[in-house]
Structure formats: C-alpha cells, structure tokens
Amino acid sequence: MKKIIFVIFLTISVFFFHPQLSFANQIFQENFTGTMGQSWNPSFFILQNSNNLIYNLNGVIDATTNDAFYTYQTTVLDSTIKWSVILNGNYGGIVSCRNSNNFASEERVIFSSDGTAQFNWYHNGGGSASSKVNIGTTGLHNFELDCTGNSMILKEDGSTILTTNTNWDITQQMQMIRLDMFDNTTTLTSYQYCESSGCSSITPTPTPIQLNVPLVKQTSNPWQAFEYDTAHVWAPLAKTIHDWGCALTSAVMILQYNGIVNMPDNTLLDPGTLNTWLKSQPDGYVGNGLVNWIAIQRFTRLVRLAFNNPSFLYDALVYRRSTNPTQLTSDLVNNMPDILEEPGHFVVAKGTQGNTFTINDPYFSRNTLNDGYNNTFLSFVRFIPSHTDLSYILITSDPSLTLTVRNSLNQSVGTSFIQQPLINDSDSSSSGSPLTMFYLEQPTDGLYTLTATTSGQNQPYSLNEYLYDLNGNVTVSSASGTTDNNGQVTLPIVFKKTTFQSLLTDLQNAFDLKLVPEGVYNALGSQIRNIQKEIERGQVNVAKFHLSVISLLLNVVPGVTTEAKTLLQSDIATLSQGL
C-alpha cells in the first residue's frame, strides 16, 4: 500500500515563506517554472539514503511565474509524506501514485478551483474519471490518498469521501508518489518527513517581504498644521493633523501605494486634501475623529470615475476589517499592505522581517512592530482592489449599547466591536470615549431588525445609522430615546442596494466630475424625480418603462462620458429589477 497524507490550510500560517531546505542527505530542492495547467516533464535530481528512500522537492507556486512543485518518493514500507499547503480557497492540484519507470500507469486525485475533488486514472494510454465530490474550502483539512491494490480511497478529516476501482493493481509496479499543486494563491509552507521510525519536522527559512509603500508623515508641512476633522470641538487645545492624523495619513499611504495620487478634482492627494474631503462628507469621520474606512472606499470609487489616476486599475478599494495575523501575512504575500491598529494609533504594515512585520509609522521613527508595539496589534484595515459592490450597513453608538441585527429569516448577521478612541501622538491625551461599531458588508436587499440593549431598563440610547448602496453612496439617519422595561429597543432597517436617491447621488457625482453636461444633468434629474413619483402613485410598470427609456437615451445623448453612462445604466438596471 502506498499512502500520502497532506494537510491543506485555507488560511495562511502566521509566518510562511519560500522554503530553503536541508535534511541530511535525503532531500534535494529543484525549482522550475511553467504555465499553469501545462504538463511538466522536468529533469529532476534524486538522492537516495540507506533506507532506499528517494525524495525530491521542487519550489513553490508563485502568482507571477506560475511555478509548481512536485514530490517524488519511491516505494518504502510504512513511509508517508505530510504536507501543509496554503490554498486561500481557490486552488488546483494533483496527488497521484504512479509507475516511475515509464509513467504508463497513474492513479490520481485532482483538486479543482471549484472546491471539488475527483479521481482520475490511466493505464497504457487508457483511463477514466470518477464523479466530483465537494471538499472543505475553509479552515484546516486533512486529506489522505491510499493507492491500494486496484482501488483508490480519498479521506477528508478521517472520513472516506471518494472510492473507486481502477481495474488494475498499480501497487505491484508502484515506485513513486507524486504531489503537484498549482494556483495563483498556492504556496508551500511546512511539512514533515516521516518513516516507520518516526517523523522529523522541517521548518522553512523565512524570506523577507518588503512592499514599496511610500512613507508619508502626519508631521510634515503644510498639512501638519491643518485642523483635523472637527477637533476644535473635542480637542480645542490640540486640534491638528500633527496631533491626530495617524489613521488619515496611513490611509494616504495605502491609496498612494495603489496608484491613487490625485484627488477627484485633480489636486494632489495628501493628508491635508484627504482630510478636507472627509470633512465635506456626511460620514467621513465618526465619533471624535475616527476615520470612517467605508467613506474611504467610496472615495476610491469617485477617483476611478474621475479617471485621473491612470495607475489605479480597479473600480474601487473595498474595506474589510480583520484581527487575524494569518490574513495579514497572506495580504503581504499577495502585495497588499494593511493598516494596523495599535492602542490609539495606526501604522501601515508593509512587509515581514524574521518573526515580525515591518511598518511605515506616520508619526514615530519606528520600522518594525518590535519597536514600541510589542510585536502585536489590535486589528487591521484591509483595502482590497476590487470590481465588486460597495454596499454596507454601519451603525455606531456609545459602548453602553449592545447591538444585534437580524435579517428577514431571523438570523443574526454582521459584526460589532468596541472601537477605542485615538490617542494624541504629541501629549497622549484621548480624543474621547470608545464607540460601539456594527458592520454588515454587502447586505442583501430586505428588512433587517436592529436590537439595542442596555444594562438596565428604561435607559437613554442614541445611535447613528449609515446605509451604503451599491456604489458606496450613503444615507445617514439617527435615533434616540429610552429603552423599554427589558432594557431594549427594536428598530427596523430597510435596505436596498440601489434607490432613487442613490441614482440621483450618482448623477450628482458624475456632474461634479464633469462627466455629464449641465443640461443633461438637469433633464435627467427632473425625469428621475418624476419616475419616483410614479412609483409613489403605484404606477410600477410605467416607471420601469420610463427608466428603460432613460437608459437607452444615455447611449445617444452627447457629452455623457463612457464612465458616466456605465455607472448610471448599472444603477437603472439594478433599481428597475428591485421595483
């Protein structure tokens, strides 16, 4: 019996890197490249020990070069190879038992990017395949392939999920076990070499990662002297970007790294101009000076519409929050820096160095998390290049409230946490009280129920609600009052990804960016408002017809840019479908 056991991680280990290997005289490494999906026939080196074990390891899979790695092992009684492989959800790979003399016979299991596994085998030019079976695509999973006699057995986490008969006994001629993995996000991390006498761990040597993130300081002129947010209200004696601008400046570094160097109005992007834009928005800052990262993602959408940053190639940067160090490492490996939250302070993670992360600190002269931050962080902000929708539900309140949101199926959705205030980097004073924040990313259309709970009955409450449509446009509302005898208040939330108001907002944005002539802007705005009144009168079919007419007219009206036409026609299609 030949058996190969390997461990598949769909989340990344805290520190994994390209391996540099040495294990007595039993292991030799060879790297080669090729096109993904190509059949490789590489020459490979073989070393043999006293136990007649032949072992060969090849490279790691790289998103740029499409490298692959192979493992070959001769027939050795009771010998297995254990693998840990980073797969990030979408992957491809083959694990097989095969004849090493002429490769005429092979039994293999194929892992596909659709999250399935399938047996495939051939013998002297003929072969067949089994049906597909779904496999785990998140978390840690152990897969075991047994090539036994004329059968194959695949187990996931100890349970058999596939079995088949190959109609010939490949183990009588088996001399090799092969592992091929290939995917844009697949990377070999750690593994063990095992024999009947026991296993020996092999630890990869870290290879540093350094992303070219521009260093921007909140202490630089001219912006260091500008008022930050509305700090004259909550910090009248220390109200500048120099004092509070760490998160703001970190955002600028991430934006510049992604190719955004100009504001939508074509002025240069820096902490001063971004601060001015955030202050002009109804949701730019929340609480006392907390940067609203969801507003930043809308900003990137507007930048894309302005089309004045040719190096920015995506529709937007989508915001996500995480606390998982493995996700941070994965992001850096995939050339995506993140913003780390320290107590009252924010920095940019741009790489790895040994057992720590390298950083750009917008205030202090610090280069790693070991320098002043005890090699830890509270959470981090991810801005993911994307072509997807920007819809969100955000609710904020004072920390005495516990927020729970349920969808129309009475399922609890979203995530809430306590956001700590900023700390003045100059004198260590606080920007105010913590804030409870609830996030639900890309919610579906429908009715949600918000329950706010206090520690006692009949307690005052106050909260703010931010609803973001498909393109990140926001509708802001607030609620306050007194909880009931159970210390609760229940409020409805009606969410739609596209509304008449969001269509009008996108029309306004297109006009502000000079993508739509003034005459067209006025005429379209008037027609959209009239169609909205038709809906209020119950004339749904008439309204849908008039929306389709506007969509067609956008193709022929002079002066409307391609970007504006695409944006507005997408809004109209989504709005019409929801009526």
Distances (CA, A) of 368 to 247, 334, 343, 375, 384: 17, 19, 16, 8, 23
Q: Dig out the tokens for 60 from the structure.
A: 């790691």
Residue 248 and residue 111 in one domain: no
Residue with structure tokens 């596939």? 162
**How far is 122 from 176, CA to CA, in rounded Å?**
15
Looking at residue 49, its pLDDT comes to: 26
- Specify whether the CB–CB gap between 189 and 204 falls below 8 A: yes
Residue 236 and residue 359 in one domain: yes
Residue 301: what residue type? R
Last residue of a domain, one of 448, 475, 495: 495
Cα-trace Rg, the chain: 29
Name the DSSP letter for residue 29: B
Distances (CA, A) of 73 to 45, 98, 271, 499: 12, 10, 57, 61
Return the closest-CA partner of residue 413 out of 423, 421, 403. 403
Coil, helix or strand at residue 328:
helix
Rounded to 10 degrees, what is the CA torsion of 468, 474, 475, 479?
80
Distances (CA, A) of 207 to 16, 18, 353: 8, 6, 8
CATH of the domain at 17: 2.60.120.200
Helix H or strand E segment including 44: none
Residue 301 and residue 178 in one domain: no
Residue 190 and residue 218 in one domain: no
Helix H or strand E segment including 334: none
Residue 225 and residue 195 in one domain: no
Residue 181 and residue 143 in one domain: yes
Looking at residue 243, its pLDDT comes to: 97
Residues of the chain falling short of pLDDT 70: 1-115, 121-127, 136-150, 157-158, 166-207
Residue 510 and residue 374 in one domain: no
- Specify whether the CB–CB gap between 380 and 331 falls below 8 A: no
Residue 555 and residue 477 in one domain: no
Residue 174 and residue 317 in one domain: no
Return the closest-CA partner of residue 323 out of 417, 435, 431. 417
**How far is 296 from 446, CA to CA, in rounded Å?**
25
- Specify whether the CB–CB gap between 48 and 54 falls below 8 A: yes
436 burial type by CB count under 10 A (0-12 exposed, 13-18 middle, 19+ buried): buried
Looking at residue 576, its pLDDT comes to: 87
Helix H or strand E segment including 195: strand 187-195
Residue 507 and residue 489 in one domain: no
Task: Report the DSSP beta bridge partners of residue 96.
Answer: 108, 178
The total of structural domains in the chain comes to 3
CB neighbours of residue 279 within 10 Å: 14
Looking at residue 67, its pLDDT comes to: 30
Residue with structure tokens 């601008």? 245
Coil, helix or strand at residue 248:
helix
**How far is 465 from 446, CA to CA, in rounded Å?**
16
Looking at residue 387, its pLDDT comes to: 79
Name the DSSP letter for residue 281: S
Coil, helix or strand at residue 368:
strand
Residue 471 and residue 508 in one domain: no
- Specify whether the CB–CB gap between 515 and 305 falls below 8 A: yes
**How far is 71 from 55, CA to CA, in rounded Å?**
7
- Specify whether the CB–CB gap between 458 and 482 falls below 8 A: yes
**How far is 3 from 7, CA to CA, in rounded Å?**
13
Last residue of a domain, one of 182, 205, 228: 205
Distances (CA, A) of 359 to 56, 106, 367, 447: 37, 48, 5, 42
Last residue of a domain, one of 495, 510, 525: 495
Q: What is the DSSP string of 478-538?
A: EEEEE--TTSEEEEEEEE-SS-HHHHHHHHHHHHHTTSS-HHHHHHHHHHHHHHHHHHHTT
Looking at residue 407, its pLDDT comes to: 93
Return the closest-CA partner of residue 195 out of 83, 46, 53. 53
Cα angle for residues 491, 497, 499 (degrees, 5° grid) = 90
CA torsion through residues 311, 315, 316, 318, sign: negative
- For residue 43, what are the domain limits? 2-205
Residue 77 and residue 31 in one domain: yes
Looking at residue 570, its pLDDT comes to: 87
